[in-house]
Amino acid sequence: MSRIEKGTYGYRDQYKKRQIGYISFFGALILVGLGVRFLADFSYHTALGSIAAVLAAIPLANILSPFVVLYPWKTMKKEDYDQYSAREKDFRILYDLIITTKEDVMVMDVLVVHPTGIYGWCTNPKVVTDRAEDNVNNTLAAMHLDPNFHVIKDRKVFDKRFDSLKPASEYEDDGTVNYAVEVLEKISV
């Protein structure tokens, strides 16, 4: 199976599977290091086992933090994806992104990057919409983009906005849409 890129349908599920493999590998390294430490007779070997366990724990912690954030969320249903993907020729659409801020975890099943703004369908009911929008808009402004990010939690409202968007080809292309896609992919898990 080839690697699915960030922003593509199915990314969340594949990312979780890949992270489980990494967690298993580094967890096994920690157990081997601790096993060497407890089974060794010489102080040199016990120190070596301890060092190996600690060195394996550092990358494990870096892998676990995004995994814990991502774990409860699954990729959206294929039928929903088919509904939205029919308009990919009109504008850029990203799927399965999770954008985190200090206060919020925005689970964006669909994220439309359009010349008039960025519109995301967020399926996490705990997100405080205004605060999340402000945080992402501050990041976009810092990256020299228009702070026009909108979080929509209600599927019907999102579908209404999605259907009302005109094709991006009707607007002047100044390169900001592609740059905004890059920024959104970088700030997501």
Q: pLDDT tens, 86-145?
A: 999 999 999 999 998 888 899 999 999 999 999 999 999 999 999 999 999 999 999 999
Same domain, 45 and 101: no
Q: Are 94 and 184 contacting, i.e. CB atoms less than 8 angstroms apart?
A: yes
* Average pLDDT score over residue span 12-26: 92
Residue 188 and residue 6 in contact, taking contact as beta carbons nearer than 8 Å: yes
Q: Is residue 102 part of a domain?
A: yes
The mean pLDDT of 139-157, rounded to a whole number, is 93
Check whether residue 115 and residue 171 sit in a common domain. Answer: yes
| Greater model confidence, 170 or 46 | 170
The domain boundary residue, chosen from 47, 70, 93: 70
**Same domain membership, residue 148 and residue 119:** yes
Q: Is 110 within 8 Å of 121 (Cβ atoms)?
A: yes
Q: What percent of the chain has pLDDT over 70?
A: 98
Q: What is the mean pLDDT of residues 146-160?
A: 94
Domain boundary residue among 70, 88, 112?
70
Residue 4, in any domain of the structure: no
**Same-domain check for residues 104 and 86:** yes
Paired strand residues for 122: 108
The verdict on 178 and 88 lying in the same domain is yes
Together in a domain, 42 and 108: no
Give me the pLDDT at residue 47, please. 77
CATH code for the domain in which residue 144 is found: 3.40.1350
In percent, how much of the chain has pLDDT > 90? 53
Measured CA to CA in angstroms, residue 41 lies from 38, 54, 88 at distances of 8, 20, 64
* Residues 133 and 42 reside in one and the same domain: no
Residue 129: partners with Cβ closer than 8 Å, 6 or more residues away: 122, 151, 153
In a domain, 3, yes or no: no
Cβ neighbours of residue 51 closer than 8 Å, sequence gap 6 or more: 33
Confidence of residue 23 (pLDDT cuts 50, 70, 90): very high
Sign of the dihedral through C-alpha 159, 7, 62, 133: negative
pLDDT at 46 over 80: no
Q: Which SS3 state, helix, strand or coil, does residue 175 take?
A: coil
Handedness of CA 112, 136, 154, 97 (dihedral sign): positive
Within this chain, do residues 102 and 172 fall inside the same structural domain, yes or no? yes
Domain residues for the domain of 46 are 11-70
Q: Which of 110, 93, 78, 79 is nearest to 167 (CA)?
A: 93
Does residue 155 share a domain with residue 101?
Answer: yes
Banded model confidence at residue 1, pLDDT cuts 50, 70, 90 = low
Query: Looking at the predicted structure, is the pLDDT value of residue 174 above 90?
Result: no
